[in-house]
Amino acid sequence: MAEVNKPMSNIGFRLMKLIFKVRDFLAPRLDVLKEAEIQCGFSVLDFGCGPGSYVAPLVEMVGPSGRIYALDIHPIAAQEIERMAKSKGFENILTIESGCRTGLPDNSVDTVLLYDVFHNLVCPDEVLREIHRVLKDDGTLSFSDHHMKEEEVLTGVTGSGIFRFVRKGRKTYSFAKANYQTKF
């Protein structure tokens, strides 16, 4: 199947990277990630990772026994993250260049981050089905998109019936697979 989303221009990506550097300085990404309750040894998919604002803090959270999958449709994103991983000696990061399909095994990821990308998706239901497929039964979808109102977030993620709302944090929403009872 063809990709269901389209990348932004190279200039747009570089501008986004600059804006994110300012944002990350003013509001560190670790503050957002804490709400996802990621633990040492977790496998995390950063879906729509962009220039990798969450990758360095994730490496610290999952530790050497964890794994980070950084997925983005833009080729520059993968290059940026691979360059960062190499320069900092991060060995537990795998980049995936895709707009939807991860290539990961079923039920293989503890946490999926879907931050500030949902509003741009051409086929959000396809992406949610892929996330559902790779997420472990007791896994968490951590969601944030400041371009959307709370009602849009809740109906956008739970509307297909494959995810259920679990809780709202200060900066994120947490969702679980609809067919699995989690202990929150």
From 26-30, 111-115, 152-156, the region with the lowest mean pLDDT: 26-30
Tell me what percent of the residues of the chain surpass a pLDDT of 90: 70
The residues spanned by each domain of the chain are: 10-177
**What is the CATH number assigned to the segment(s) 10-177?**
3.40.50.150
- Asked if pLDDT for residue 3 goes beyond 60, the answer is no
Distance CA 107, CA 104 (A): 9
The whole-number pLDDT of residue 82 equals 95
Q: Which pLDDT tens digit goes with each residue over 20-63?
A: 665 556 566 678 899 999 999 999 999 999 888 899 899 999 99
Q: Which two tokens stand for residue 106?
A: 């079923």
From 11-25, 53-67, 85-99, 103-117, the region with the lowest mean pLDDT: 11-25
- 3-state SS of the chain is CCCCCCCCCHHHHHHHHHHHHHHHHHCCHHHHHHHHCCCCCCEEEEECCCCCCCHHHHHHHHCCCCEEEEEECCHHHHHHHHHHHHHHCCCCEEEEECCCCCCCCCCCEEEEEEECCHHHCCCHHHHHHHHHHHEEEEEEEEEECCCCCHHHHHHHHHCCCCEEEEEECCCCEEEEECCCCCCC
pTM of the model: 0.84
- Asked if pLDDT for residue 184 goes beyond 60, the answer is no
- Pair type for strands 135-144 and 173-177: antiparallel
